[in-house]
Structure 1
Amino acid sequence: MTPATLPGTPGLLLRLAAPVQSWGERSQFNERDTAPFPTRSGVIGLLAAALGRKRGEDIGDLATLSLTVRADRPGTVLRDLHTVGGGLPAPRTVTTAEGKKRSGATATLLSHRYYLADAVFTAAITADSGLLETWAQALRNPHWPPYLGRRSCPPEGPLLLGLVDDPLHHLVHLPIARRTPTGTRTVDVVFHGDQPLDRLGTHPQPGGDDGSTPAGEVTDDPVTFHARERSYRARPRYQRTLTLPAERCRGLGAVYLTALGSYLDQHATRPESALA
Structure 2
Amino acid sequence: MRLASIYRYPVKGLSPEALEFADLDADGYFPGDRVFALENGPSGFDPAAPEHQPKVKFLMLMRNGALAGLATRYDHASGVLTIAQKGREVARGDLRSAEGRAAIETFLTGFLGDEIRGPVRLLQAPEGFRFTDSKSGFVSLVNLASVKAIEEVQGASVDPLRFRANLYIDRAERWAEADWPGKTFQLGGATLTVLKMTDRCAATGVEPGSGRRDMDLVQTIRKAFGHIDCGVYARIERGGRVTRGDALALV
- TM surpasses 0.5: no
Given the two structures, how large is their TM-score scaled by the length of structure 2? 0.32
Larger radius of gyration: 1
